[in-house]
A and B are shown apart, each in its own frame.
Chain A
Amino acid sequence: DTGVSQDPRHKITKRGQNVTFRCDPISEHNRLYWYRQTLGQGPEFLTYFQNEAQLEKSRLLSDRFSAERPKGSFSTLEIQRTEQGDSAMYLCASSLLLGSNYGYTFGSGTRLTVV
């Protein structure tokens, strides 16, 4: 399978705990995005990497959130001191840097539940 892979698929955590999610993009894709989707809503942009550089962060990404893509391949998204409002599906997507191509490939997401 050469799609975008996310791990874990589901995570239940207690409020106040830290969690980390991983995304493995399609190998030749140099763009990587994180989106968050709450129930009944469309995905919302969180952050963007081009290779290993984090080029943009949404205001949704509070200081409790940090994302990395250390070698320009896989990426991690960490949430510190989780709150119930962090419960959502966290989606990763990747694409090629190629003109005005919006052809993202999304992963299946990590569903986070904070109790």
Chain B
Amino acid sequence: GQQLNQSPQSMFIQEGEDVSMNCTSSSIFNTWLWYKQDPGEGPVLLIALYKAGELTSNGRLTAQFGITRKDSFLNISASIPSDVGIYFCAGPSGGYQKVTFGTGTKLQVIP
């Protein structure tokens, strides 16, 4: 089946720093999704990408749909403590709008 690998697995950064993380797939995706999950909560959709090469922003977050359609990137600028959480990439995995989630990148922000 489809697998989405995220890197890094975890990261510690200082408040105010920029963050980059990526997601790679063994197969082509036509849509890329980025979610954030806070401890004890369900994931929340941050950004959706629908076209190869697309660059989309949501506040301090910017995501890119890789040209090969097998990867995607998420950048967070000027990190703040509430950015702490686990970031998941995801992509469609068949009909009915169900998705496959990646392995996650755990972000810790040091004040």
B96/A104 in contact, CB under 8 A: no
Q: Is the CB–CB distance between A102 and B99 below 8 Å?
A: yes
A2 lies within 8 A of chain B by Cβ: no
Total residues of chain A contacting the partner, CB 8 A:
26
CA distance A112 to B96 in the complex (A): 26
Pick the contact of B97: A4, A31, A42 (CB < 8 A).
Answer: A31
Main secondary structure of the interface of B (DSSP, over half): loop
- Bound-complex Cα distance A50 to B97 (A): 11
Interface string of B65-106 (1 = CB under 8 A from A): 000000000000000000000001010111111111111100
Q: Which residues of B contact A101 (CB under 8 A)?
A: 97
Shortest CB distance A29–B (Å): 12
A103's contact among B48, B96, B102, by CB below 8 Å, is which? Answer: B48
Q: Are B93 and A45 in contact (CB under 8 A)?
A: yes
| Residues on A facing B (Cβ under 8 Å) | 4, 31, 33, 40-45, 48, 50, 55-56, 91, 93, 95, 100-104, 106-109, 111
6 contacts between A and B (CB under 8 A): A41-B104, A43-B88, A56-B94, A95-B97, A100-B50, A108-B42
